[in-house]
Structure 1
Amino acid sequence: MADQTGEATAGAVARLRATAHPLRLRILSLLTAEAMSAADVARALGVTHANASYHLRVLHDIGELVVESEEKIRGGVAKRYRYDATRDLPAQGAEVGDRIAYARATAVEVERRLLDVAPGHSSSSDLEAWVPVEAWHRAVQLLHEASHVLHAAARPAGTPDTVHVSATSTAFTMTGGLTGGAVRWTPSEEHR
């Protein structure tokens, strides 16, 4: 059992490190809505085909992307990748430095998105506080559900009758209060 726990932790750390890159975060967002080839990703994000291929391989190798289909193109095979957003990126066992790298990559991506903000409604929140465990569990469940709703509803870019959105959340317990099993939260059955 200890070996399985160690392997799960190593896998979580590898995924966290691999996704701690602004372009890879953009690729994951893009591939939430539809499967795309490296050429499609390169065109959509304005990067070279080689750059898109490299980052797709990194994300695929650590299990963040699945190959949805393959098609023959000019004597070669083009893989169409998709992001399986139903899985969470667990951070348990990850070193603080790895989690900070992921947070920095996310911050760069949020800054890029803010440069494209449209007029209208938005929500932003920041908080460091001491709250009852029940309030913590409810808040994390709501954040988890909101993430699943948005990922499940994602459509290809430019789909009629859709709105282009950005949603980023980070929530974690800090030192100084209850920790470990006393505050551990698990998603409800319907959102696992």
Structure 2
Amino acid sequence: MDETDTDAVTRLRATAHPVRLRILSLLTAEAMSAAEVARALELTHANASYHLRQLHDAGELVVESEEKIRGGVAKRYRYDASRDVRTHRPGIDERVAYARANALEVERRLQEAAPGASSSSDLETWVDVETWHRALDLLHEASHLLHAAARPAGTPETVHVSATTQAFTMSGGLTGEAVRWKPAHEETR
């Protein structure tokens, strides 16, 4: 990432926090106010409000609605995973910060894992560019599928799931335009 791209740096820093990752996941399924987020995640109202403002200011959340409550205005925030976001190329420091926050969140989720179907994979290997692009397309499709199907917590006939992916090219092989990837659905644009 170009270190002068302050919008991209701000977005990455805003999301590189375990509580904010939980908030983004929670708000994928439904819009919620700070009070509702605080109750759902067992945070103080002030803490939830702070994190929501940070995510909103970074462009990660949208205000879906506002309602008057006891003489004030409560904003209901939502995370729109389908929004048109340009591909970011964050620097290594920002990617490491995000990975650390993500690792803490995955650890918390694993503590709550139920017995049953699951999948886990870790791999560092060399593949041809076509295979790499196909794998990225499949990961991208799976992520969009889950985000689009997200329902409010506790909805009847739903299962509480966790899905985390990290996929990136390593140094030592082809780089730059030789391996540049665009999601399959964006190639038709």
Work out whether the TM-score is over 0.5: yes
Contact 1:31 1:81 in 2 (8 A): yes
With over 3 angstroms needed to count, the CA separation of the structure-2 counterparts of 1:106 and 1:128, relative to structure 1, is same
Q: Return the alpha-carbon distance in structure 1 between the equivalents of residues 134 and 119 of structure 2.
A: 18
Question: Does 1:172 pair with 2:172?
Answer: no
Paired residue total: 187
The farther-off stretch of 182-191 and 132-141 is 182-191
The farther-off stretch of 59-68 and 5-14 is 5-14
Q: How far has the Cα of 1:129 moved from its partner? A: 0.5
Q: Return the alpha-carbon distance in structure 2 between the equivalents of residues 60 and 7 of structure 1.
A: 21
Q: Which of 4, 18, 28 is 1:22 aligned to? A: 18
Tell me which residue corresponds to 1:84: 80
Q: Unpaired segments of 5 or more residues in structure 2?
A: none
Q: Return the alpha-carbon distance in structure 1 between the equivalents of residues 27 and 3 of structure 2.
A: 27
Q: Which amino acid aligns with 2:157?
A: D
With over 3 angstroms needed to count, the CA separation of the structure-2 counterparts of 1:147 and 1:83, relative to structure 1, is same
The correspondence of residues 95-110 of structure 1 with structure 2, limited to 5 A, is 95-110=91-106
The correspondence of residues 1-192 of structure 1 with structure 2, limited to 5 A, is 9-87=5-83, 90-92=87-89, 94-189=90-185
Q: Using structure 1 for the length normalisation, give the TM-score.
A: 0.92
Cα deviation digits, residues 23-81 of structure 1 (max 9, x gap)? 00000000000000000000000000000000000000010000000000000000000
Q: How far has the Cα of 1:14 moved from its partner? A: 1.5
With over 3 angstroms needed to count, the CA separation of the structure-2 counterparts of 1:188 and 1:159, relative to structure 1, is same
Paired-residue identity, %: 75
Q: Which amino acid aligns with 2:185?
A: E
Q: How far has the Cα of 1:86 moved from its partner? A: 1.4
Q: Return the alpha-carbon distance in structure 1 between the equivalents of residues 4 and 164 of structure 2.
A: 25
RMSD: 1.9
Q: Return the alpha-carbon distance in structure 2 between the equivalents of residues 20 and 89 of structure 1.
A: 18
